[in-house]
Structure 1
């Protein structure tokens, strides 16, 4: 068999319950040779057993941790083990289609791109609504009247929420400035230049940070709509799933991420870019679980006063859950920076 060009790295985005469907989609629709590394961060026993069995059957590398990991922590565990020309990051709630990987590799080879992303759709129906078709992400510097320079993030998503059937003529391979970790193909040697992913970004802005860092090294980005994948949101109302979801999108992780991102890129924390995100703090938890839960227990009667009261209570509960998560970490667990340093040393030694 031809030596694989690419290693697929699968990690958990915000839930566990779609792991089987996503992994089986990869094996069903991928015809080019590939290696696979699966990072399993504290999945419930049923999913853990499934992944262990599949890793034996399919001969892929399974990295297991018995505590939750942020997305970048999980990806960093895998990167030092990659020995192929390309690395493909994909979340465990994504379905792929025929020729998805072949199209990404073809684009990378023909354009010499550092990063290639597919047409990423969203929803329970495959390939119907666009979530991302590439976009723009860079820093804009503005000189104020007093001579000070204000730095702002410019971020734009192409064709977001458009129906694929209505925009076929606009779906062409194009150069862009960023991709998302739902699914992206990356030249592995870029990590020799930029190091590992920034683990200070726990829950948000990690894709923008990575892409701007790559851009600063002269790397290039393309979106290849001949490759189509679909991110399938949804949450199973099970304790293990909800606990991970609540930590993954906790206020604590989001605030820490935004503060770290602003400091790293020398951005004004009171900028509208950040204010909008602080105003919507917790919206993923509220949209993904709290509001559906209220509608369920009230049989659809969901007045605004009840929503506000529930959000206030949920924020307090979320803090307790996040605090308990920190207390549950193993005693020998190192800080993010120390863990990142150890992994960086392993990467550099290759």
Structure 2
């Protein structure tokens, strides 16, 4: 039977956990699939066991690409896709039983992009052991002294599981933890070299094509959310991906392509500083509570804030209410 989907696994924030990600795919995916693994300079101790596990499987392909960003890696695979559907899956996310069929059903109903319900495990802060990370979302715009800024608004953020709706719903955004694309559309979208808000760039492209995106809560993905202690090699990748040489240029590339800055740009840079402090503390053996206190110290010492509005969400309006903004540039780098 021909594969119905190509599943492409890339590192998100870390290297470790790839074996668990692959194991979950095989345990919970009865449909025929191709599995492509983006080897972005994985340590041998991480990638070698996975290679041995998958040796001889015709559906598997490894892309040895060296240290690069996930988006740059996906551009290498993009023109090779020939299945009706494509799933992008981060290696720190875990599919669960019955995850794929509901996504394919929504694709069959004509939707171009389908996101499962993304649940985050308790990680960088305390809370419910499992809670909503992403149900639906939208891109909004808010004016600051006459300049429009974009806001990524996530509905029901961190809502506990019993309170999350169970019905399929339209969404204006998705995230790359796990998302299914129509295969032909995936080959048409641009994959810019971004590490920040790249999913929103793609969301705007899909809207410009007149296609719809939905969340399908019957499909559930668990996302680690940096809760598991990192190895030293994991932090090497995290510091590379979230370093200032990539984060700042990512923001400027989005601005050139769409004409907008993000209201939360400085907050994202501050998030990176806090997360680095958290990860180093955890690597040194600190429990989550102490690591969180270390992030507060880092925030006071190294972070400056830019948040001029008392309620930016309340002052914002849906970006697409006035139509999809024109794409000003097609630069990918």
- Specify if TM > 0.5: yes
Q: Distance in 2 between matches of 1:233 and 1:114?
A: 27
1:134 counterpart (133, 136, 141): 136
1:265 counterpart (258, 278, 292): 258
Shift, 1:63, TM fit: 0.6
> Which stretch of structure 1 is more off in the superposition, 278-287 or 32-41?
278-287
Partner of 2:329: none
Label 1:143 to 1:276 Cα distance change in 2 as closer, same or farther (>3 A).
Answer: closer
1:189 counterpart (167, 180, 184): 184
Q: Indicate yes or no: 2:235 matched with 1:233.
A: no
Q: Distance in 1 between matches of 2:281 and 2:237?
A: 18
When you count helix as a share of all residues, which structure comes out higher?
1
Shift, 1:58, TM fit: 3.0
- SS across alignment from 2:264: helix
Shift, 1:9, TM fit: 0.7
Label 1:236 to 1:226 Cα distance change in 2 as closer, same or farther (>3 A).
Answer: same
1:117 counterpart (106, 115, 118): 115
| Aligned partners of 2:16 and 2:231 also within 8 Å | no
Q: Indicate yes or no: 2:203 matched with 1:206.
A: no
Q: TM-score normalized by structure 1? A: 0.76
- SS across alignment from 1:58: coil
Label 1:240 to 1:135 Cα distance change in 2 as closer, same or farther (>3 A).
Answer: same
Partner of 1:315: none
Q: TM-score normalized by structure 2? A: 0.79
List gaps (5 residues or longer) in structure 1: 313-339, 342-350
Q: Distance in 1 between matches of 2:274 and 2:192?
A: 24
Q: Distance in 2 between matches of 1:21 and 1:281?
A: 26
Label 1:44 to 1:295 Cα distance change in 2 as closer, same or farther (>3 A).
Answer: closer
- SS across alignment from 1:186: strand
Partner of 1:158: 155
| Aligned partners of 2:118 and 2:221 also within 8 Å | yes
1:174 counterpart (160, 169, 174): 169
Q: Indicate yes or no: 2:280 matched with 1:290.
A: yes
Partner of 1:84: 83
List gaps (5 residues or longer) in structure 2: 303-331
| Aligned partners of 1:119 and 1:228 also within 8 Å | yes
Label 1:264 to 1:119 Cα distance change in 2 as closer, same or farther (>3 A).
Answer: same
Q: Indicate yes or no: 2:64 matched with 1:64.
A: yes
Label 1:277 to 1:14 Cα distance change in 2 as closer, same or farther (>3 A).
Answer: closer
Q: Distance in 2 between matches of 1:248 and 1:144?
A: 32
Please show how residues 217-232 of structure 1 align to structure 2 within 5 Å. Answer: 217-232=209-224
What is the RMSD computed on CA atoms of the aligned residues? 3.2
Shift, 1:219, TM fit: 1.5
Partner of 1:54: 53
Deviations 1:87-121 (A, max 9, x none): 110001111111100110011112x0010000000
Label 1:98 to 1:306 Cα distance change in 2 as closer, same or farther (>3 A).
Answer: closer
Partner of 2:327: none
Shift, 1:251, TM fit: 2.4
| Aligned partners of 1:55 and 1:61 also within 8 Å | no
| Aligned partners of 2:114 and 2:214 also within 8 Å | yes
Label 1:127 to 1:184 Cα distance change in 2 as closer, same or farther (>3 A).
Answer: farther
Shift, 1:49, TM fit: 1.0
| Aligned partners of 1:173 and 1:224 also within 8 Å | yes
| Aligned partners of 2:132 and 2:158 also within 8 Å | yes
Label 1:11 to 1:293 Cα distance change in 2 as closer, same or farther (>3 A).
Answer: closer
Q: Distance in 2 between matches of 1:231 and 1:188?
A: 24
| Aligned partners of 2:274 and 2:298 also within 8 Å | no
